[in-house]
Amino acid sequence: MGATIVEKIFSSRCGHSVRAGEVVMAPVDGAMIHDITGPLAIRNFFEMGGTNVFDPDKIILLFDHQIPADSIDAAENHVFMRKFARDQGIHNYDIREGICHQVVLEKGRAAPGDIIVGADSHTCMYGSVGAFATGIGSTDMGFVLKFGALYFRVPETIRTEVSGAFPWRVGAKDLILSIAKDIGADGATYQAIEFTGETFSSMSMNGRMTCCNMAIEMGAKTGIVPPDDITYEYMQKRRQSHTVSIASDPDACYADRREYGVTDLSPQVAVPHNVDLAVDVEKVAGTPVDQVFIGSCTNGRFEDLAEAAEVLGDKKFNESIRVIIIPASRDEYLKSLQAGLIERFVKAGALVEAPCCGPCMGGAFGLLAPGEVSLSTSNRNFRGRQGSAEASVYLCSPATAAASALYGEITDPREV
């Protein structure tokens, strides 16, 4: 019987045939920590007797959640991590580059066939380049920092095959919200979700990142897209001589197979307070909102901002709401700046912030008061995620967010 792409990655890295369900000690090709989870992971490293990290070149360290420091505690965490980076000889991306998941990919720190771990649940986004990437806790990360390896239970795989071409102003975010609705918030717990089919074969890296990013919202260990010419073109600009041809065998054993079509897909909106509570936008159109957030590691890339700008046109955002726009990285900010998008957003009434997580986790700014409603292109709408536990967060695509920001209420982007 053939093997899935996940089984092949673990087999390659472990040096022997590995099957789903087996527990293996596997070496990692990269380990990422940021300013929220990093300090605890580093302390665990020291508590385990660590003196020198396993390989400074394989550790990715940066700040993105509370930057620039918004409290004395945050500033002290930054100082602690900077000292660790200097002492260990680790390159520190610090506050300059942007959101960890975007930076890892655009700097070529994840590649096809790699095993990457990160002390953040949305590490699974790196599966967009054909890596096995997963989030781990700070204790596990302390172990990885010392030993460069970790025990894994090799996950079974759910194969999703997606067909069709997206309708106008419908895209990858709408697709992944509809898949989450079908599979459920815990329907893929500790499994891998493999994204395949003609829709993914023609999908840009931006769309693939969006879908893999949100695999965790179904409980998945990782999301992964088999690497192809689109992947290799992306990698060639970021990492020299790294072309790995790897895909699941036709007779691979899957835990489940799901088929989806996008030809008739409507814009999706996840209603409070779970990601899998997605509905067609028509069902919630007219819901008043207080804040619109366009950004995050899910939808803060140039393509996302361009999508929002296309809906905006030469109009202005509704003055009754707050519009916060945050590019995912410095590179994405510069692309948007050079294309004139930043100026257009500012003139339309938006606050455009430096690359960071922003309101996504409610850690720094853009917090909601009790009773307020946010419409967000981020990945989670849990109670209290963006501020008060008495606030409500809806999730959507950049097109839907921009359309709604024009009218101050949830709006079908196809009607703008």
Instruction: Tell me how far apart the alpha carbons of residues 110 and 177 are, in angstroms, rounded to a whole number.
Output: 25
Q: What percent of the chain has pLDDT over 70?
A: 99
Amino acid identity at 108: G
| Tens-digit pLDDT profile for residues 162-195 | 999 999 999 999 999 999 999 999 999 999 999 9
Q: Looking at the structure, do residues 228 and 346 belong to the same domain, yes or no?
A: no
pLDDT bracket for residue 351 (50, 70, 90): very high
Q: Looking at the structure, do residues 156 and 285 belong to the same domain, yes or no?
A: no
- Alpha-carbon Rg of the chain, whole angstroms? 20
Q: What percent of the chain has pLDDT over 90?
A: 87
Residue 363 reports pLDDT greater than 80: no
Q: What is the pLDDT of residue 313?
A: 94
Q: What is the pLDDT of residue 242?
A: 63
Q: Looking at the structure, do residues 108 and 190 belong to the same domain, yes or no?
A: yes
388 vs 350, residue with greater confidence? 350
Domain end (from 260, 288, 317):
260
Coil, helix or strand at residue 53: coil
Q: Looking at the structure, do residues 229 and 288 belong to the same domain, yes or no?
A: no
Whether residue 133 is contained in a domain is answered as yes
Q: Looking at the structure, do residues 298 and 222 belong to the same domain, yes or no?
A: no
| Tens-digit pLDDT profile for residues 36-86 | 999 999 999 999 999 999 999 999 999 988 888 888 998 999 999 999 999
Mean pLDDT within 387-397: 92
| Tens-digit pLDDT profile for residues 211-253 | 999 999 999 999 999 999 999 999 988 887 666 789 999 999 9
What CATH number is associated with residue 119? Answer: 3.30.499.10
Domain end (from 260, 291, 312):
260
Q: Looking at the structure, do residues 295 and 392 belong to the same domain, yes or no?
A: yes
Residue 344 reports pLDDT greater than 70: yes
For the chain, give the mean pLDDT.
94
Mean pLDDT within 291-311: 96
- Number of domain units in the chain: 2
**Structural domain harbouring 359:** 268-415
Residue 337 reports pLDDT greater than 90: yes
Residue 322 reports pLDDT greater than 70: yes
pLDDT bracket for residue 147 (50, 70, 90): very high
> What letter does residue 267 receive in the DSSP assignment?
P
Q: Looking at the structure, do residues 171 and 298 belong to the same domain, yes or no?
A: no
Between the alpha carbon of residue 247 and those of residues 15, 120, 170, 225, 299, the distances in Å are 18, 26, 28, 9, 27
Q: Looking at the structure, do residues 235 and 346 belong to the same domain, yes or no?
A: no
Residue 382 reports pLDDT greater than 90: no
Domain end (from 260, 292, 314):
260
The closest of 195, 191, 127 to 156, measured between CA atoms, is 191
Whether residue 246 is contained in a domain is answered as no
pLDDT bracket for residue 388 (50, 70, 90): confident
| Tens-digit pLDDT profile for residues 106-139 | 999 999 999 999 999 999 999 999 999 999 999 9
| Tens-digit pLDDT profile for residues 91-109 | 999 889 999 999 999 999 9
| Tens-digit pLDDT profile for residues 244-299 | 789 999 999 999 999 999 999 999 999 999 899 999 999 999 999 999 999 999 99
Q: Looking at the structure, do residues 218 and 108 belong to the same domain, yes or no?
A: yes
Q: Looking at the structure, do residues 343 and 216 belong to the same domain, yes or no?
A: no
Which burial class, exposed, middle or buried, applies to 351 when counting CB atoms under 10 A from its CB (0-12, 13-18, 19+)?
middle
| 172-183 helix and 205-213 helix, angle to the nearest 10 degrees | 30
